[in-house]
Amino acid sequence: MSQAEIESLLKKTMGLNSVSVGSATISRAVQKRMNSRGEPDINAYYHEIIHSRSELDKLIDEVIIPETWFFRDNKPFQALDQIVKDKYKKETTKGKKIRILSAPCSTGEEPYSIAMVMLNNGLRSDQFQIDAIDISSRNIEYASIGIYGLNSFRGDDIRFRDKYFIDSPEGYILDNSVKKSIKFERANLLDPSFKINRSNYDIIFCRNLLIYFDRQTQSDVLTRLSDLLNKDGTLFVGHAEGGALIGSWSPSREFPGAFAFSKPDPHVLANSLKNKSTSTGSIGITRKQIEEKPLARPFSSVTKPVIPANTQGKGKAHDLDTAAKLANEGHLVEAAKICEEHLRDKGPDTQAYFLLALVREATGNRQQAVDYLKKVIYLNPEHYEAMVHLSSLLELLGDINGSKNINERASRIKNKAS
Ligand SMILES: C[S@@+](CC[C@H](N)C(=O)[O-])C[C@H]1O[C@@H](n2cnc3c(N)ncnc32)[C@H](O)[C@@H]1O
């Protein structure tokens, strides 16, 4: 028995693709559990986890990446606010209850942020329901307590903390008005019984989970979520996960940068699943899909003046704008080609590297994306957006300290600018 068997058990149980977190992370987690069980033999430990659900759960708690914070990425919450105002608020006066799923919810910051958006809209807690699930019982327990440390408050605007929390020696205690609107539950999104006894949702948040899955698992989970979403509902995914939905789900043009998608037509979904066999990338994009379907405009920021003025040649702005436009339309291969040609002809350039990084990120090649982002930061040490992307990618690759350092550097730049 070897670590490979344990990795394969984790993949089967929770979908974790060892490539996404790295075998070393899994090895450290296994070692930690073996030490605390006083078990030096990996074979014996493997037998323990296949026979003891509680030990397997403890190993899962060790391998998961629970990283989360209130109003993470902000844009999805602004989009939610707008959707509630435009689409649902009026209906609640006629008795509608807005149903929302936060899966995975980790330690609760995401569903509580959702609840704050609802309460800020003047909704009563009986006018909406938020189901929040996570595979980790430790996370669910933490979430249900509702006391948070400083690390959970990372944005620039934390006025919500004064409104909904009480500062105490134990930490920031969440107000009951927010707590009571959420039903926390330990659940596994991969479990075939996950859908049973659940009514459909108007909004689903499934952010920063698909990145840990391989293509087939992403596709299975997305089919499950599609079944659970109302016809005119909205699915939010994480900023590095939009690529997994290309070709079947429709990105919302109304909320760029929020990674909001509408439910796929069942026929389109069936076809896209059939086409997966001709996939070109590791995140489920077929060549045909890359050519035909637009992304949720993750590349729009590239057209902003992120490069120092003295490096902006006339021809350059033109061809890189074209590349950004192509990337936004889903023509990732062509966009990358233009950037590469640009770099070959005109030498190192922040804008070309940054766009290439985003393209690589969208096609699942995180390591290359990291390398390009490092080049951007080397050329322009004040490049805030590159740092934000690099920080999340490092987190995904399991380099939590590296991610934290870059995140702190990005915050310093932002503070300096404001
Ligand atoms: C990085 S957190 C994401 C939290 C939140 N959605 C966010 O974006 O801030 C990932 C969470 O996924 C959970 N998770 C991993 N596999 C899961 C599965 N198969 N079913 C449910 N939750 C899972 C982990 O326990 C972890 O808390």
Q: What is the pLDDT of residues 110-146, one digit of tens each?
A: 999 999 999 999 999 999 999 999 999 999 999 999 9
Name the average pLDDT for the chain.
84
Task: Show the tokens assigned to 14.
Answer: 């929770």
pLDDT of amino acid 315: 52
Residue 105 Cα to ligand 1 midpoint, Å, equals: 6
pLDDT of amino acid 280: 31
Closest ligand 1 atom, residue 221 Cα = 19
The preferred substitution site among 9, 59, 64 for testing ligand 1, maximizing ligand atoms within 8 Å of CB, is: 64
User: Which residue's CA is the nearest one to ligand 1's atom 12?
Assistant: 104
**What percentage of the chain has pLDDT greater than the value 70?**
85
Closest ligand 1 atom, residue 205 Cα = 6
- Band (pLDDT 50/70/90 cuts) for residue 45 is very high
Please work out whether the CB of residue 264 comes within 6 Å of at least one atom of ligand 1: no
Does the predicted model carry a pTM greater than 0.85? no
pLDDT of amino acid 301: 35
Please work out whether the CB of residue 218 comes within 6 Å of at least one atom of ligand 1: no
Judged against a pLDDT cut of 50, whether residue 308 lies above it is answered with no
**Domain definitions of the chain by residue range:** 3-63, 75-272, 300-417
**Domains 75-272 and 300-417 in one fold:** no
What fold characterizes domain 300-417? 1.25.40
CATH number of 75-272: 3.40.50.150
Please work out whether the CB of residue 104 comes within 6 Å of at least one atom of ligand 1: yes
pLDDT of amino acid 313: 40
Task: Show the tokens assigned to 263.
Answer: 């439910």
* Helix (H), strand (E), coil (C) string for 225-274: HHHHEEEEEEEEECCCCHHHHCCCCEECCCCCCCCEEECCCHHHHHHHHH
Q: Which residue has the tokens 């096609």?
A: 363
pLDDT of amino acid 417: 67
- Band (pLDDT 50/70/90 cuts) for residue 295 is very low
pLDDT of amino acid 317: 57
Average pLDDT estimate for 270-290: 37
Q: At what angle do helices 350-362 and 384-396 cross, to 10 degrees?
A: 30
pLDDT of amino acid 297: 34
pLDDT of amino acid 240: 81
Burial class (CB in 10 A: 0-12, 13-18, 19+), 83: buried
Average pLDDT estimate for 270-274: 55
DSSP 324: H
Residue 307 Cα to ligand 1 midpoint, Å, equals: 35
